[in-house]
Amino acid sequence: MNRILFLFFCLVLLLLSPGLRGQERPKVGLVLSGGGAKGLAHIGVLKALEEAGIRPDYITGTSMGSIIGGLYAIGYSAHELDSIVTSVNWAQLLSDRIPLSDVIPEEKYDYQRFHVELNLSREGLSVPAGLVGGQAISELLSRLSSGVAGVHSFSDYPIPFQCVAADLLSGEQVVFNSGSFTTALRASMSIPSVFAPVALDSMLLIDGGVLNNFPVQLCMDMGADIIIGVNVGTADKAEMSDLNSPVAVLAASAMIGNSLSFRQQVPFVDVLIEPELHPYSTASFFYGPQIIALGEEAARLQMETLHGLAQRLDSLGEQTQKPFPPRPETYLISSITLEGGEHISHRFFMSSLGIAPGDTVKNEDLKKGMNRLMGTRYFESVAYDLKPLREGYALTIHATESARSRFKFSLHYDNENKAGILTNLTLRNVLLRGNRLAATLDVSERPRLNLSFINYYGENHRTASRLEGVWGNSNFPVYLEDGAEYGRFTHSLTNLSLGFMSSLDTRWELNGFMALERSVLKQQSGLYEVFASGVDHFGNQLLSANFTANRNTYNRRFFPTRGNEFDFRYRFYLDNREVYRGSESVRDVVEPAIARSAVRFFELSGSWQGVFLLGSRFAVSPRIQASYANRPLPLVAMNFIGGMPFQRRTREVSFVGLSSREKIVQDFAMAQINVRYRFSRSMHLTGVVNGLAAASDSEAIYRPVVMEDEEYILGYGLIMEMDSFLGPVQVGVSDSNVPGGLRWYIGLGYPF
C-alpha cells in the first residue's frame, strides 16, 4: 500500500509540474501467475481492468497465466476468453481424447479401452512422460492463434508478450519472446508428470512455475514502469483442501520451489491482486465460471485504485496501441511440410491428413486433419503452424511418433463374467514395414485370447490382408421353465480367419475372409438327468466364407453423444462337421444340437444403432437388429440372447431383461430404445425397453433355452452408469416376460 501511495504521489507531481508534463507516459505491465485451473481467475481480473480503462503495455505469464495472458496479448478480449473457457470441452481437452469416428477402423476396438499404456523398447517398459500428452491443448492454441500466424517476434503482438518455461536438462529458466506461439504456451504449462514435456532444440521444457511462477522481473526488463500482478498460485504453502486429486498433488509438488521466487519479486508489484479461490484447486477446470467470477470480485475490491491509475495515465497522454490482427476464416494452403514422422510414408501422411496443397480450409478442417493423424495411432502428438506467404499459407505439421511397441492393460469385473485383467501388446512396423501385430489376452476365470496380424498394401494403408485367431472359454447357462438356472456348460471357442480388409475412410470398413471355427460345449454343472454319463463334449466345426461391412460414426465408444453404427454380415457355410466325444449309446441325447445341415447355405445378419441429443441432458438411442439363415443351424452357431449393453461378442446379442445367454434363437428381429439422462458431468441414468421375436422353427435340445417360431420377449430395465477413469461403471436391474424375477447386473471397466 505504501508503494501505491508513493506511485500516486509521483504521478501527481507529474501533473502539477509544467516541466514534467511532456514526459513519456509510464508503461503498465501485467504479470499473471501459474496455478492450473485457478488461473482462469485471470479472465475475471482482465474484465475489471477493461472496465477500469487499463490496457497493459506488456504482459508476462507462467503456465495458465501464459495461456490467458498470451491470448489476451494477441487480441482476445476478456469476454471472448470467458466464452472460450465456458464452451470448451475440458474432459476432452485434458484427456487428448479424439472422436472415435476419426480413429482408423482397425484401431477402433482398442482405442481408449486400457487404463495404462506403456512403451516397450529394447531397454524394457517405460511410462509416458506425462498423464496427458497435450495434443488437444496444442491444437486449440494453434487454432486460436491463427491471427498471428507468421509473426515471429512476440514484441510485435498487439500487446508485447513473454512467458516462462524451465529446461529440465539444464535446470535453467527459458524465456519465450519469439518463435512458435503454440510451442511457447504449451511448454510454459507442462506441469511435470501431468503434461508431457516439450522437446525443443536441445531442451526438454516443463512448466515455468517450477522456477519462476510470478515473472515480475521479466516484465520490468521489458520496460514496464508500473506492475499489476495477479497471483493465483500457492505463494507460501498449499492448503490441505486444495490437494484433492492426483493432478492437484502433482501440480503442487511441481510448484513447491516457486515460493522463494514469489517472495523475492512481490515487493516490486505496485498493484497486487490475489483472488480468494477456496474451495477450488488447480484441477477444478469444470468450475470455470465460478473461478472467473472470483477473479473479477477480487479485482473489484481495488477498483477505486485501478480507476485512479487509469485517469492519471490518461492525463499523461494517449497510449500507443497496435491494431488487433484479423483472424482469417479460411486459409489457402500453398505447401505442407511434416517435421518428425521419419518412419511414416509421405503418401500415408497426406492421405490421413486429408488436406492437399491448393485446398482452401477452415480452422475446423485443420482440427479434423489433426484428429485423423492422431487416429492412425502412429503419432503421439501433432501440432501445426501456419506461415503466411505471398500467396496462401505454408502449413507445417510438428509430429512426434508413437512408440512402435506398446503394452497396455486394464482391470474389469462384472457379476456374469467375473473379474479379469485385460492385457494387450501391439507392435507396429516391427516384423515388416507397414504391418500391425496385436495380441489381447483376458486373464480371468473365463480366459480369452485374440491374435491379429494386418499387413498393409500401398502407402495409403487403405487395403490390407488380415490373419486373425481367437480362443476362449466362457459359460453357457441352461435355464428351467421358471427362469431358474439348471446347469452350465463350458463353451470353448477357437476361430481362425484369413482374408482382406479395406477401409474407405475412418468410418467405413469392408472385410472378406475365410473362417474355420470350432465351437464345443462341455458339461460343467447340473444337467445330470439330461445328459447320461458318457457324454464328454459336443459341438461343431464350421467352415465359412464371410463378407462384413461396418460404418461407425460415434464420437465415443461409451456414452456417445452423436453418431451411429451400422453393421452387416453375410456368412456362407461351406462345411459343417459334428464334434462329439462320448459313448455312442447316448449320442442321440445331443444329436439335435449338432445335427448337420446341408452344406452351402447362408446366414444374413445386420444391426443399426444411433444416438440423438434432446437438449443438453437427454439422449435417445434407438437400435434394431435381425438375423436370418436359410437352413437350420447347429446350437453353437445360433444367436445367444441376453446381457447388458457393452457386452458385445460374436453371436451374442445384448438384451435388457435377460441374463447373459439366457435364450438362444436362430432367426430373430429385435428393437430397442434407450433414453439416457445425464444428471452430472459423468453420471447417467438410462432407461431401456426392448422386444425380440423369433421368426423360425429350430429344433431345440432343451425347450426353455431355444426360442421357436412366433415366440417373443419383452424386456425393460433401469441402469445407473458412470464414466470413470477405470472405465464405464454400470449398476442395473431389469425384468422381462420370461419367468425368473429381477435380473441384477454390476459391471466395472472395459469388457473384452
High-pLDDT (> 70) share of the chain, %: 88
- Where residue 717 falls among pLDDT bands split at 50, 70, 90? very high
DSSP-derived secondary structure for 144-167: HTGGGTT--BGGGSSS-EEEEEEE
pLDDT in tens, 416-457: 778 889 999 998 877 666 788 999 999 988 899 999 999 988
Q: Which helix (H) or strand (E) holds 173?
A: strand 173-176
What are the pLDDT digits (tens) for 306-343?
988 888 888 887 777 777 777 888 899 999 999 887 77
Minimum mean pLDDT among 217-221, 296-300, 576-580, 693-697: which range?
693-697
Q: Which three cell numbers stand for residue 84?
A: 472460450
Spatial CB neighbours of 226, under 8 Å, sequence gap ≥ 6 = 7, 26, 27, 28, 29, 270, 271, 309
- The residue that leads in pLDDT, 721 or 530, is 721
> Which pairs with CB-CB distance under 8 Å and at least 24 residues apart come from 174-181?
174/203, 174/205, 174/208, 175/218, 177/153, 178/152, 178/153, 178/154, 179/152, 180/385, 181/70, 181/74, 181/141, 181/145, 181/148, 181/151, 181/154
The string of pLDDT tens digits covering residues 159-180 is 999 999 999 888 899 999 998 8
Cell, residue 182:
503454440
Q: Are the beta carbons of 45 and 82 closer than 8 angstroms? A: no
Q: Among 135-149, 374-388, 637-651, which is the least confidently predicted range?
A: 637-651
For residue 255, pLDDT beyond 90: no
In 3-state terms, what secondary structure has residue 358? coil
121-155 pLDDT per residue, tens: 776 666 666 667 777 888 888 888 888 887 889 99
Look-up: residue for cell 480452422?
Answer: 363
Q: How confident is the model at residue 241 (pLDDT cuts 50, 70, 90)?
A: low
Query: For the chain, what is the largest distance between any 2 Cα atoms, rounded to a whole number of angstroms?
Result: 121
The answer on pLDDT for 485 being more than 80 is no
- The pLDDT score that the predictor gives to residue 19 is 36
CB 273, CB 238: distance < 8 Å: no
10 Å CB burial of residue 259 (0-12, 13-18, 19+) is: middle
CA neighbours closer than 13 Å in the CB half-sphere of residue 255: 33
Nearest to 415 by CA among 488, 475, 479: 475
Is the predicted pLDDT of residue 223 greater than 70, yes or no? Answer: yes
d(CA 182, CA 170): 22
CA distances from 410 to 85, 283, 286, 405 (A): 32, 24, 26, 17
The confidence score (pLDDT) of residue 278 equals 86
Cα angle vertex 454, ends 451, 460, to 5°?
Answer: 155
To the nearest whole number, what is the mean pLDDT of the chain?
85
Q: For 659-677, what is the mean pLDDT?
A: 92
pLDDT at 627: 95
Grid cell listed for 82 = 470467458
- Range in 149-153, 569-573, 688-692, 748-752 with the lowest mean pLDDT: 748-752
The residue among 550 and 93 whose pLDDT is bigger is: 550
Band of residue 553 on the pLDDT scale cut at 50, 70, 90: very high
Helix, strand or coil for residue 281?
A: coil
pLDDT at 6: 43
Q: In terms of pLDDT, which residue wins out, 592 or 499?
A: 499
Give the C-alpha separation, 294 to 287, whole Å. Answer: 11
Confidence of residue 604 (pLDDT cuts 50, 70, 90): very high
Q: What are phi and psi of 316, to 5 degrees?
A: -95, 0
> Percent of the chain scored above 90 by pLDDT?
41
Q: How far apart (Å, rounded) are the C-alpha atoms in residues 107 and 112?
A: 10
Segment (H or E) for 143: helix 135-144
pLDDT of the residue at 489: 85
Quickly tell me which residue has 456414452 as its cell.
559
In angstroms, how far is CA 749 from the centroid of its own chain? 16
Which DSSP symbol is given to 178? B
Look at 644 and 368; give whichever has higher pLDDT: 368
Predicted pLDDT at 700: 52
Of 340, 336, 438, nearest in space to 395 by CA: 336
Confidence category of residue 22, pLDDT binned at 50, 70, 90: very low
